Structure 1
């Protein structure tokens, strides 16, 4: 059964100027270790990030992408948006090579996603099919909730070299694309979540860690037909 996606309101525009963004990036790149991931409650997560239009030189942009990749791997996660490092810039990195149970992979349509970076992304649904699964966020540690998302989307974005690209994504890859793109508009997954499904990681593991959500839907009373 397909359920409807929940709308998400974009946040206010970031107040950072281009020079402030560049300064914040330079400070981040100057750190000896990996920067911390910003947690929910920080205003940068609730503001619409600035479109990338050359605020950084090519070297700084490449270094930022690599630093974001390192943080994503260390977390570990399957995506990371620049605001999650305190940088209000429309940039995100994505990659999914986790070894997942074959049954869960099939039900969730989860297939490997090679690393890539996206600038100024926007997506649109392809078709009307949706998928509902638990998801979490590196900026909201310790919790997960069921989110209904478009099963198939078309992503429009720019590569770090400035070239435009369009690509279609399905299943779990489409979920990652939507999650990270929402970050750049000041959104978090809880904005689209079924809040009755919200669980901390321990309770999720104890009660609802199934490939699908039927047990949680019945037990917690959400998404009832």
Structure 2
């Protein structure tokens, strides 16, 4: 009995191989079947309802200018609406079109007055924060008006869960078109100037990690990681 087991096992393997070869008509079919085991068909396309994350090629591209004849069209209107929706959904202060997967030169900024209540007054004042109404800029151009630099901690929804100190110019002028193709010029200082510089970087394929003080780069929830024995999740949805 023990001597006959290898022969039976060999026969079963040969039979399995025959079944595999008859069930897969060609090498191409096998390759397609095999790829389906580890790849997922993309059903979610831009403009996204979430923030793209570092590593996504769209964040490293030079965003294209929006053709003037398309600014008031339904496509650009839909992109801007989605940007504002995501901006407010995640309760942040700035967003660029590449962050929802669209490589176009569009940014939106908003610093609500209510944010002042969510942080210590000393921090609010030290970072020169102030209210900024919702502002959408299409094909924006940034000009430095105050070359003094301020260094403060900065985060990004496309580098979720981390922050670092970054130097930014203290004052800038932002010029561009609004959703109605009207010219809009904005003088910004302090934290709002920082927001503008951060979002403009996104349009040029840059992230704050490119110019941060690397010694200050840190996980924003490192204390919770220790307290909860590592049982901490960083969500990429909301």
Q: Tell me the equivalent position of 2:11.
A: none
2:203 to 184, 200, 203: 184
**Larger relative contact order, structure 1 or 2 (CA cutoff 8 Å, min sep 6):** 1
Structure 1's 85 and 192: CA in aligned 2 closer, same or farther, altered over 3 A? same
CA contact (8 A) 1:144 1:204 kept: no
The runs of 5 or more residues in structure 1 that have no matched partner are: 1-26, 207-225
Q: Tell me the equivalent position of 2:108.
A: 93
Q: Tell me the equivalent position of 2:122.
A: 103
Q: Tell me the equivalent position of 2:94.
A: 79
- Counterpart Cα distance in 2 of 1:153 and 1:56: 24
1:12-32 Cα distance to aligned partner (Å, 9 max, x none): xxxxxxxxxxxxxxx546xxx
Q: State the 4+ residue runs in structure 1 displaced beyond 6 angstroms.
A: none
CA contact (8 A) 1:45 1:183 kept: yes
Q: Tell me the equivalent position of 1:198.
A: 217
Residues 180-189 or 55-64, more deviating: 55-64
* Structure whose alpha-carbon radius of gyration is higher: 2
- Counterpart Cα distance in 1 of 2:146 and 2:49: 39
The runs of 5 or more residues in structure 2 that have no matched partner are: 1-44, 226-238
Q: Tell me the equivalent position of 1:133.
A: 152
Scaled by the length of structure 2, the TM-score of the pair is 0.69
1:76, distance to aligned residue in structure 2 (A): 2.3
Q: Tell me the equivalent position of 2:84.
A: 69
TM-align CA RMSD = 2.0
Scaled by the length of structure 1, the TM-score of the pair is 0.73
Give the secondary structure class of the aligned counterpart of 1:126: strand
Alignment coverage as a number of residue pairs: 176
Q: Which has the higher helix share?
A: 2
- Trace 1:114-129 onto structure 2 (pairs within 5 A): 114-129=133-148
CA contact (8 A) 2:72 2:180 kept: no
